[in-house]
Structure 1
Amino acid sequence: MAIEPVLGTRSQRAFMGTILLQGIVVLVMVSITFRFVAEHVDLTEPRYKTLPCYLALFILAEIFEVLMAFDALRLRNVIQLVGILAFQLALLVMSILQIHETRAALVTAPGASGSANFLGGSGPGTLWRKVLPFLIVSPIVVGISEFIMLFFVRHLYYEFGWAIFHVVGANPAAKTMYQFYQIMICLLKFDFFCFTGVTMQLLIVVLSTNSAEFGLTIAAIPIVLVLLAGCGLAVQREIKSLMTVSLVIMLAAEAYFVYKLIRFYEPDSEGQYVTTRATLTVFTIVALLLMFTTFVVGLRCFTDFDKGLLSSKLHGQFYRPVNSSLMDDLFGGATHGKTSYNAGSQLEPRISIE
């Protein structure tokens, strides 16, 4: 029996459908919040810039998650599916933080209520109370989606597991090397999102166009994007010189994130970050940790160059029919004889899960 096409099984469709439905609901809630606030305040004022940034971040996050999910299903990449679950948790944290930061932007007179305090109060009859229900819906939807996605990722693991088990044949060392390669590629994708998220917040919310910091942020964009693309190419094609340069630039990128963290809390600059500091801090710390992890895994992948893995990275591996009792031993009998990786089923010749 042939390997199912992308979205060819119920678990794949349900996983993708959950992400799409979540994205629609969350973006509707964020858009309603944005519209209500835009009707009453000038969003170009520094205090209120957190709202357009809030909308932009969630648009970026939901589009990124949909693309990552489709990519993971297309490549049958279980590691990337697990990464999406971690990303979903980060999205939950971000949606909770946005409640705090929106309140910091809108509320200048805590406890005040009524139409006289509509713009600055936090009590009944104020703008804050008007948008609060829509802000609360987002983390609830994201949290529920996380549990649903976790259930279907478990099914997808069984669905993809046997094919992934045979990507590089029966050599345990080769399997370990290929797993590190998969992790590296997955980390690079999430590095892209975190860097883009931090940069977008800085450019939209904080920085003045005539400041030196604005110029530094703009200059960092192409450097980091070239770094991520170059590193991905180097680790896939085992180009040692390009991998060396990428790892060195990665250290410089980590220094950049440390510099930004310090700027958020320095006395001469902390005022401009007041309404977005929580989200910026979380994004920057996550980006820093991801970049450091990418550097460490990159070193590990570098040591695996020229050890016979290049063909598997570029073209995948051939498969053999398998015995169902062995599959039951490995996967706890969870296949139930319903997947395309059953006993005696001839898999199609080649599959790449990069």
Structure 2
Amino acid sequence: MAVEPLLATKAQRAFIGTVTIQAIVVLVMVGITFNKVDEHVDLHEGKYTVHVSLVTTWDKNSRFTQTLPCYLALFALAELFELFMAFDALRLRNIIQLIGLLIFHLALVVSAALQVHQTKSALVTLGDDCGSEESFTDCGGSGTLWAKIQPFLIVAPCVIGLSWFLMIFFVRKLYAEFGWAIFHVVGANPKMKTMYQWYQIMICLLKFDFFFFSGVTMQLLIVVLQRNSAEYGVTIAAIPVVLILLILCGLAVQREVKWIMSISLVMMLAASSYLYKLVRFYEPSSQAQYQTTRATLTVFTIVAFILLIGTFAVGLRCFADFDRGLQASKINAVPSRPKLAGEKASSNQAYQSGAPLGPRISIE
């Protein structure tokens, strides 16, 4: 089997098509929800544009007006990231990244389901049975704003869940296709193949580290932190620092630069202290400000911490493989289909679809 060009096979086109279509549908659902709320709630000033109960405070309004834009921004980031990761995995013929993408997609289902509860928690402040016309925006009964947007919020996890099963089907087909690509890169040596797979896992983890760090940071900046606080400035400053750290770590593991890799591993251990944020989400003195985003923030923070520890462990494994002959394969990791000059090659010059081979070698 030859190494096909990007999107040259039905399985590749079907996989990327599934990811693209579900991303469009989900973003449309979230966009419709945002638009319907924006018709009745001033999302910029934190004040309702319709009559509301006097017991509703400005702080509650403010938390809601920030929660829904954060929900929209978070899902836009997730869907764009998933599209990038899908194209990148197909470009690199990286089955490890495709498996990681399946896990990430399953996490999107959970996140979309959590957002249904969190949006209701932020919007419905007077309960489900109040039902008066004066409480259209902050009641949960029939005929209210919540009743209108709930179906669109429910569609999102359903569509993401359905597309997950389709993606599993296509990944199974891509598994066999990409196995031949790895053979083109590292050859038939089992030890080299194992080292290359650990390298692929490391690069994949670095990409997911960036997304989950960005997700936590986005929620803190949009919903929780005050712009005049010191914590807000520290969070802003951490964004380029983490981005540079991840990029340098990726280059270090690819080019096998030991001193940069050592610094990256030490910084990962230092960054794990960020887990202290979980305490602030639930301690009495600060839990109120995290009320409408606590569930999503908790999930993102825990996953980010687990990924960071996993990246550190895999980084140590990759560090141990430095200077063992894999560097050239890492740098030239994108296989391409060899071109044949002239007419069709005979059977002793080509294997199936035209990739020239040397003597027969057993991949096992």
The answer to whether TM tops 0.5 is: yes
Structure 1 residue 232 corresponds to structure 2 residue 232: no
CA contact (8 A) 1:37 1:127 kept: yes
Structure 1 residue 346 corresponds to structure 2 residue 355: yes
Q: Match for residue 243 of structure 1?
A: 261
What's the secondary structure of 1:49's corresponding residue? helix
Q: Match for residue 219 of structure 2?
A: 201
Q: Match for residue 187 of structure 1?
A: 205
Q: Match for residue 332 of structure 2?
A: 315
Q: Match for residue 23 of structure 1?
A: 23
CA distance in 2 between partners of 1:250 and 1:194 (Å):
14
Q: Match for residue 76 of structure 1?
A: 93
CA contact (8 A) 1:118 1:126 kept: yes
1:253 to 249, 261, 271: 271
Structure 1 residue 128 corresponds to structure 2 residue 137: no
Q: Which amino acid aligns with 1:32?
A: I
Q: Match for residue 325 of structure 1?
A: none
**C-alpha deviations, 1:98-149, integer Å up to 9, x for none?**
0010001101111222423211111101111110000000000000000001
2:110 to 93, 102, 106: 93
Greater alpha carbon shift after TM alignment, 139-148 vs 150-159: 150-159
CA contact (8 A) 2:2 2:351 kept: no
Q: CA deviation at 1:344?
A: 8.0
Q: CA deviation at 1:11?
A: 0.9
Q: CA deviation at 1:317?
A: 9.1
What's the secondary structure of 1:271's corresponding residue? helix
Q: Match for residue 291 of structure 2?
A: 274
CA distance in 2 between partners of 1:173 and 1:288 (Å):
30
Q: Which amino acid aligns with 2:355?
A: Q
CA contact (8 A) 2:2 2:353 kept: no
CA distance in 1 between partners of 2:32 and 2:92 (Å):
36
CA contact (8 A) 1:30 1:55 kept: yes
Q: Which amino acid aligns with 1:6?
A: L
Q: Match for residue 37 of structure 1?
A: 37
The 1:105/1:317 distance shift into structure 2, 3 A limit, reads closer
CA contact (8 A) 1:7 1:73 kept: yes
CA distance in 2 between partners of 1:116 and 1:239 (Å):
65
CA distance in 1 between partners of 2:63 and 2:157 (Å):
25
Q: Match for residue 337 of structure 1?
A: none
CA contact (8 A) 2:280 2:286 kept: yes
Q: Match for residue 57 of structure 2?
A: none
Matches within 5 A, 1:2-17: 3-17=3-17
CA distance in 2 between partners of 1:33 and 1:317 (Å):
41
Q: Which amino acid aligns with 2:20?
A: L
Q: Match for residue 173 of structure 1?
A: 191
TM-score (norm 1): 0.88
How many residues were matched structurally? 329
CA distance in 2 between partners of 1:318 and 1:210 (Å):
50
CA contact (8 A) 2:209 2:308 kept: yes
What's the secondary structure of 1:268's corresponding residue? coil
Q: CA deviation at 1:9?
A: 1.2
Q: Match for residue 149 of structure 1?
A: 167
Matches within 5 A, 1:211-230: 211-230=229-248
The 1:319/1:8 distance shift into structure 2, 3 A limit, reads closer
Question: Percent identity at matched positions?
Answer: 65
CA distance in 2 between partners of 1:207 and 1:320 (Å):
51
Q: Match for residue 279 of structure 2?
A: 262
CA distance in 2 between partners of 1:106 and 1:348 (Å):
64
Q: CA deviation at 1:266?
A: 2.0
Q: Which amino acid aligns with 1:194?
A: F
TM-score (norm 2): 0.86
Q: Which amino acid aligns with 1:305?
A: F
The 1:163/1:145 distance shift into structure 2, 3 A limit, reads same
The 1:275/1:176 distance shift into structure 2, 3 A limit, reads same
Structure 1 residue 297 corresponds to structure 2 residue 305: no
**C-alpha deviations, 1:182-234, integer Å up to 9, x for none?**
00000000111101111011111110011121122112112211110110010
CA distance in 1 between partners of 2:120 and 2:227 (Å):
26
**C-alpha deviations, 1:230-254, integer Å up to 9, x for none?**
1001000011100010011111111
Q: Which amino acid aligns with 1:128?
A: W
CA contact (8 A) 1:104 1:275 kept: yes
The 1:275/1:90 distance shift into structure 2, 3 A limit, reads same
CA distance in 1 between partners of 2:357 and 2:16 (Å):
24
CA contact (8 A) 1:23 1:62 kept: yes
**Structure whose alpha-carbon radius of gyration is higher:** 2
Unaligned runs of 5+ in 1: 322-340, 350-354
The 1:163/1:271 distance shift into structure 2, 3 A limit, reads same
Q: CA deviation at 1:158?
A: 1.6
Structure 1 residue 118 corresponds to structure 2 residue 136: yes
Greater alpha carbon shift after TM alignment, 35-44 vs 131-140: 35-44
CA contact (8 A) 2:351 2:357 kept: no
What's the secondary structure of 2:185's corresponding residue? coil
Q: CA deviation at 1:32?
A: 0.6
**C-alpha deviations, 1:270-315, integer Å up to 9, x for none?**
1110000000100111101001100000011111111111111112
Q: Which amino acid aligns with 1:60?
A: L
CA distance in 2 between partners of 1:56 and 1:154 (Å):
32
The 1:37/1:173 distance shift into structure 2, 3 A limit, reads same
Q: Which amino acid aligns with 2:316?
A: L
